[in-house]
Amino acid sequence: MPEFDYSSLRRFPDVEAPNLQAWDATDELLVQAALAAEVPGTEIAVIGDGYGAIALALTDAGLHGIRVHQDLVTGRQALAANSVALGLTDWVAHELDRELLDGAHLVLVQLPKALAELEEIADAVARWAAPDATLIAGGRVKHMTLAQNEVLARFFGHVQPQRAERKSRLIMASAALSVPATPPFPISQTHDLDEKPYSTSETTSARVSRAQSGFSAGGLAGHTSLTLAAHGGAFAGAKLDIGTRALLETMATLAIPVVNPHVIDLGCGTGALAAAFARQHPDAVIIATDRSASAVRSARATMAANGLEGRVHVTLDDAGSELPDASADLILLNPPFHLGASVHEGAGQRLIQAAARLLKPGGEVWTVFNSHLDHRRALSRDIGATEQVARTPKFTVTRSIRRG
């Protein structure tokens, strides 16, 4: 049988660039280990299969009914497209749940960046997979740490790292340990928003607006706390990251001159911005959307924790692709600056382009980003006139108005 042609895989609709490919050596090592294990496809679960390299290579080798979980909707769409292009469609998509893992004897995992995400995966495997299941996790050596072994050792009696090959390494884990009756995620943390100012350097107009509104540096329309909930793969966990803090502080200056404004939290993460805005503007119609299933689950839990379940609609979507053009009066945007382990502005620029499509003429996008990034130029080009509202040592907050 000829070897699987990994180079035929595409990342689309995710960012594509010469230095970004749809597979790596870890995918190939995981496939080799799975084939050597001689486990039926229906007893294999794959977690973190970026663009389908693992599932499609195994399907091409004659294994059928493999179960796959991918956190990112862009990865799910890429797997589906690659699957059709290659005629390899006998696999099944799942969320990270019992159906993914029930009866699985072999679980293949591309090691996630966050230890909390690995903890949630390891707990799920120990909780729902077959008692004698083997988990094989792999990653690029430069991104692997001993802490990953320690996380796995909390859920499995035997954890054995393998020898590195082609700058990747596999870890074998077996003999699942007992787990508590209640899964450890989502976790939650309540933040005292009046604890201290966020130390932004505001424009004069922003400072005057805050004084007139009686809106403190932390308080949100009378609320002095905000509870964030997070699943393992959510950026920053249940913490309030400093970029979000910077944008929250400037939200006092937001004054939308329409009744029942339509607002989108684009790339919502755990939903902090959407939850805060829902409190500040009870009349707003708010959608929070993210391409990460873990983020969406987290945002829904955040809304529940703050009594906002009926106020904010949370969706899993790639850059608001399922939302109608020119539908938003306001977009709140805290774009990522990483694509996996790579520092890349492409993800943020895709969200800026999406914001341009989603905004009504005259609508506004308020963006917070790392000050060293060139997002202000992109905002001016794709959306319209852009001004700096505030700046911290690391972050810049801007207001952009959609040109007509």
Domain boundaries, the chain: 6-176, 187-401
Q: What is the mean pLDDT of residues 268-276?
A: 96
CATH class, 187-401 region: alpha beta
Best mean pLDDT range from 154-163, 186-195, 219-228:
154-163
Q: Which fold has domain 6-176?
A: Rossmann fold (3.40.50)
Q: Look at residue 343 in the predicted model and tell me its pLDDT.
A: 46
How far from 27 is each of 63, 265, 300, 320, CA to CA, in Å?
A: 16, 34, 32, 29
| Residues linked to residue 390 through DSSP beta bridges, in sequence order | 202, 397
Q: Look at residue 225 in the predicted model and tell me its pLDDT.
A: 86
Q: Look at residue 214 in the predicted model and tell me its pLDDT.
A: 30
pTM over 0.85: yes
Q: Look at residue 370 in the predicted model and tell me its pLDDT.
A: 87
Spell out the residues 6+ positions from residue 65 whose beta carbon is closer than 8 angstroms to its own. Answer: 40, 41, 42, 90, 91, 92
Of the pLDDT bands very low, low, confident and very high (cuts 50, 70, 90), residue 8 is very high
Percent of the chain exceeding pLDDT 70 equals 90
Average pLDDT, the chain: 90
Read off the pLDDT of residues 322-341 as tens digits, 9 standing for 90 and up. 999 999 999 999 987 544 44
Q: Look at residue 26 in the predicted model and tell me its pLDDT.
A: 98
SS3 (DSSP) at 342: strand
How far from 3 is each of 78, 174, 292, CA to CA, in Å?
A: 21, 29, 32
Domains 6-176 and 187-401 share a fold: yes
Residue where the block lists tokens 């973190």: 48
| Residues linked to residue 202 through DSSP beta bridges, in sequence order | 390
Does the pLDDT at position 219 exceed 50?
A: no
Of the pLDDT bands very low, low, confident and very high (cuts 50, 70, 90), residue 344 is very low
Rounded Cα–Cα distance for residues 44 and 39 (Å): 7
